Structure 1
């Protein structure tokens, strides 16, 4: 009997110090499969939830990338870096001694970053400028000017503060570390939030810690350590149908309708009109057949999901 190739969404708790691309490489090795992608990068400094699409489920990634995200982070006031995080080189260390960094002043600066804002991304980012990554240009000493983008910060709360000192280039400076929780739309740079809070306070700032705890309905508490060889990676895969149900409304199809939809035909179903996506689920085996739109009781395919390879007729086989 043929083994069904791995297919699903994998929740990974990315450790500090490795890139998202490296996580993808580890998943490919452990699953013996090349078709692996991710839904939104995490910087090497950051830890936390990274969603991987495995096999045919890579087709779901485009619907995961745009989900809201929640982070915990630590913002250090008093020191700026060229990357706006701890991996960068300090560019200014003015400290906090001569600035108003009272709780009230900090809250005012943080409040300016809540809601719908126009944010200029960090210079050391993966955004492309004339076909080249901004971080490549910045590291070569070229001037990088990025346009602002509209993002939504629905939560930006300070949960704790620590007054301390830090050594920068051999000199001791006063700093304030702010532990924060941020919930934001896709495309928001938490590093840039830290930078802009520091600018508002006149102290400069950068991130010293960042952890992604949630992506849409998915939580880091359900993620695996991909580097732990004792973890059953295949067994940790979330089934495509289960993931689709968490993201969209669904419609159940009988075997004949599921086959017709797979063949690209329009299928009749009782479901309110929707531009999509709606998850079409086969009743027979609880399989995600496709993502569809619904118009006047007809399902129209947006994205099809193939049946598992082990279930397909092999070349030269007879029914």
Structure 2
């Protein structure tokens, strides 16, 4: 849907984030384009990364916390042979032995290392991440030279695939190996931490040199618009369409619709038990509420009608 009137529409905007922009930079741009302060994003992307960034405008901001928990997909390049402070190409090198200590890394060794980083794993985020440690951002502690540890967190790597392995030479002349990979993972996964940990497992160090997010839940690059395109024409996915695409759909009759909108917890079909948020629609196709099953009843998480 294009914004041809004066009122800012409710819905999602799927942005193809450019490199060099923070997620907050993109939100600030969208506030100007959409002429509203009520804009947020569903999950950050590092400045170096490009690709799918889901923004919510007006009432759709109420969906964002739930969308942030959906599965994500990335295409990236892991460089073996060098470590950096940030675990990506933006940080200073802290080890640059290259592959001299382990010449001729075999593909089966790489595959074995990736296998260890697949499935349900415990991951330690980068020290320059935005995670809070005792109320203070990790990156702020790192900048101040503090010595601290970040607890490992459970994440799920559904797929970790190597598409290409290339011999390369870094800018400083260090011999390295570049892996072109794709990763499908749960929310909260740090792809640069996967690069770091794969390099550590192989004994040569590793960091991320390129990252493009190709999917957030059901939203893919083919629906994303660049900032320049959005400045030309603001394209907003209506909030009802966004909810139907991202969550299981439950159609209710007029009576149950009225009860839900009045805060009454009605019986919920067993098929929705334990599946997370469900988008509830009335007979006219109006998106009413985002709800979840709790002890057999529908608990409203956010009301939209």
Q: Which whole-Å CA distance do the structure 1 matches of 2:225 and 2:32 have between them?
A: 16
Give the greater-gyration-radius structure (CA).
1
Q: Which residue of 2 aligns with 1:153?
A: 157
Preserved CA contact (<8 Å) 2:78 2:180:
yes
Q: Which whole-Å CA distance do the structure 2 matches of 1:181 and 1:42 have between them?
A: 16
Tell me the alpha carbon deviations over residues 207-240 of structure 1, each in whole angstroms, 9 at most, x when there is no partner: 000010011111111101123355421xx21122
Q: Which whole-Å CA distance do the structure 2 matches of 1:270 and 1:111 have between them?
A: 39
RMSD over aligned CA atoms reads 2.3
Give matches, 1:1-319, under 5 Å: 4-99=7-102, 100-168=104-172, 172-228=173-229, 231-233=232-234, 236-253=235-252, 258-266=257-265, 274=273, 277-284=277-284, 286-293=285-292, 299-305=298-304, 307=305
Preserved CA contact (<8 Å) 1:153 1:185:
yes
3-state SS of the aligned residue for 2:237?
Answer: coil
3-state SS of the aligned residue for 2:128?
Answer: coil
Preserved CA contact (<8 Å) 1:251 1:271:
no
**Unaligned residue ranges in structure 2 (runs of 5+):** none
Summarize the Cα distance change of 1:283–1:271 in structure 2 as closer, same or farther, 3 Å threshold. Answer: farther
Q: Which moved more, 1:55-64 or 1:82-91?
A: 55-64
3-state SS of the aligned residue for 1:303?
Answer: strand
TM-aligned CA deviation for residue 3 of structure 1 = 5.3
Preserved CA contact (<8 Å) 1:240 1:287:
no
3-state SS of the aligned residue for 2:187?
Answer: coil
TM-aligned CA deviation for residue 28 of structure 1 = 0.6
**Unaligned residue ranges in structure 1 (runs of 5+):** 308-319
TM-aligned CA deviation for residue 243 of structure 1 = 1.9
Q: Which moved more, 1:223-232 or 1:52-61?
A: 223-232
Preserved CA contact (<8 Å) 2:66 2:277:
no
Preserved CA contact (<8 Å) 1:224 1:231:
no
Q: Which whole-Å CA distance do the structure 2 matches of 1:239 and 1:183 have between them?
A: 27
TM-aligned CA deviation for residue 128 of structure 1 = 0.3
Give the TM-score of the pair, scaled to structure 2: 0.90
Preserved CA contact (<8 Å) 1:122 1:192:
yes
